[in-house]
Amino acid sequence: MAAWGADAAELVDAVNGAAGGPAACSGADAYGIDGVTPKVAVRPAAVDAVSAVTAAAHRAGAAVTPWGGGTRTSIGNLPRRYDVALDLTGLDQIIAHNPGDLTATVQAGVTAAALQRTLADHGQFLAVDPPLPESATVGGALAVGSSGPLKWQYGSVRDVVIGMKVVQADGAVTKSGGQVVKNVSGYDVARLHVGGLGTLGVIVEVSLKLTPLPAHETTVTASYGSASDAIDAALDIFGGGTAPLALTVIDASAAADFKDLESGACHLAVRFGGRPRAVERMVSEAQAASKRHGCRRIRQADGAGAASLWRQAADFGWDTATRPTVGVRASVTPASVGSLWAALQRQGTAPGGRTALVGHPAHGIVQAHWRSDGAQPVDEAARAFIRSARRAIRAAGGKMVVEQCPASAKAGLDVWDDVGDQIAVMRSLKDQYDPRRVLSPGRYVGGI
């Protein structure tokens, strides 16, 4: 595999030529990943130009990393090579919104917030809530693939995709799926790219399944003396007769970073949506469950107050105010959340600094964030935190991804969990779709 050997100017020329003009951005420095800066950054404004740039890089043996809003580029192993940042924010068109069909087709670089605003005008939304939606792009959210608090009720990020156009590693533009909500025509190739971190192809356009905005929404927040009570209450509601849109537990340490949450307590936030009378009943059942588990105080918020809480919950760990030194995302079964939480809390303070936990028990997600207090060498402490988190998560039968970590601590670390026997097929997919290792080499599972 020939790495890019020529000088940067030559690559810039090749990329500019391919993009049909001076599309290369100045300041490739802004596109660094784990301290590695690309030789050139390019921001094409059309799918054809993305194809041409990718094809040029493919011919040259240069390594390309697709770039959306740049909000979660900390996810991934250290780049093995990184020559071209392919900024897709120039693909910012909402191609079609068909309110009557509850579908939309958008370019990958549309921001999540811009799309939601357009959809909201028609009483609809995309049931995906990535962090930092003003910057995060639809393509980026899909490439990362992990879901926010809304996942329980509305399903995974991967479930909203009904069609996709992808630029392959050699520049070929291919499509799969369609623009309708029910379709089994041909292989569902889009599934490779949702959560694929841009390592098998560059997502350039997607068709999406939309959801009507709930007629009425409200949020109940209950505070607890212990996280285990909050989690028990959450699982009680999960197993009960009501169906909240989201169910999120915030520990006392994390609560300190939330604007409207009482500090020194754990919190369970439950988001309800639907017909007013149904919401009213769900609220009273959630209140009853909270009381059964010994909550101290219950509050209810609507409108801006609730929106702000859920914004903070989805952004947690990704905005500058709450960014941790190390961020770990664990996935366990709902019933294992309590034991995992306890284990993480026990080991949390071991390396010094501060640990904060936020979790969505109904879909088994726990985010464990550790912030260094500078008292110890950060790399060593970070590795210690990751090691003990991994032990706790394995013991709970779960899988984890280290989403944030100092680049200096990443050497020799696989930020992804062991994926078992399926790794052979995953490697073989990379061989098929990107044999020259053009797309983000090294950053994915098992060093793919």
Partner 1 sequence: MPDVDPLVNELRAIVGNDYVIHLPEDLIVFEYDGSVDKAMPSAVVLPGSTAEVSEVVSAASRAGVPIVARGAGTGLSGGAVAEQGGLVVALTRMKRILEIDPADHLAVVEPGVVNLDISTAAAEYGLYFAPDPSSQRACTIGGNVAENSGGPHCLAYGVTTNHVLGMEVVLADGSIAWLGGRTRETPGYDLRGIVIGSEGTLAIATKIVVRLLKQPEAVKTLLAVFKEMDQASSAVSGIIAAGIVPAAIEMMDHFCIEAVEPAVNAGYPKGAGAVLLVEVDGLSEAVEEEASEIERVCRSYDPMEIRAAVDEEERARLWAGRKGVLGALGRLAPNYYLVDGTIPRTRLMEVLARITEIGDKYGLPIANLLHAGDGNLHPSVLFDERDPDQLRRTMEAGAEILELCVEAGGVLSGEHGIGLEKQEYMPLMFNDEDMAAMAKLAPAFGSRGRFNPGKIFPTGKTRAPIPHAGAVARTGAGAFI
d(CA 113, CA 137): 8
What minimum distance in Å lies between the beta carbon of 272 and partner 1?
11
What minimum distance in Å lies between the beta carbon of 446 and partner 1?
8
What minimum distance in Å lies between the beta carbon of 324 and partner 1?
19
- Cα-Cα-Cα-Cα dihedral sign, residues 111, 113, 119, 122: negative
**Closest by Cα among 317, 309, 422, 419 to 366:** 317
What minimum distance in Å lies between the beta carbon of 119 and partner 1?
12
Give the residue with the Cβ less far from partner 1, 275 or 391: 275
d(CA 314, CA 48): 34
- Report the alpha-carbon angle 71-355-447, nearest 5: 50
Give the residue with the Cβ less far from partner 1, 173 or 407: 173
What minimum distance in Å lies between the beta carbon of 429 and partner 1?
4
Give the residue with the Cβ less far from partner 1, 295 or 332: 332
Give the residue with the Cβ less far from partner 1, 24 or 127: 127
Contact partners, residue 255, CB within 8 Å, separation at least 6: 261, 262, 263, 264, 265, 266, 267
Kindly state the tokens that stand for 185. Answer: 């025509």
d(CA 391, CA 344): 9
d(CA 318, CA 327): 9
What minimum distance in Å lies between the beta carbon of 7 and partner 1?
33
What minimum distance in Å lies between the beta carbon of 170 and partner 1?
10
What minimum distance in Å lies between the beta carbon of 310 and partner 1?
19
Element spanning 357, H or E:
strand 354-360
**Closest by Cα among 202, 206, 162, 161 to 58:** 202
For the chain, the farthest-separated pair of C-alpha atoms sits apart, in whole angstroms, at 68
Give the residue with the Cβ less far from partner 1, 225 or 240: 240
Give the residue with the Cβ less far from partner 1, 103 or 248: 103
Give the residue with the Cβ less far from partner 1, 20 or 155: 155
Give the residue with the Cβ less far from partner 1, 140 or 196: 196
List, as one string, the DSSP characters of 233-300: HHHHHHHSS---SEEEEE-HHHHTTSTTSPTTSEEEEEEEEE-HHHHHHHHHHHHHHHHHTT-SEEEE
What minimum distance in Å lies between the beta carbon of 265 and partner 1?
26
Give the residue with the Cβ less far from partner 1, 175 or 387: 175
Q: Is beta strand 64-67 parallel, antiparallel or unpaired with respect to 84-87? A: parallel
Buried b (16+ CB within 10 A) or exposed e, 226-244: bbbbbbbbbbbbbeeebbb
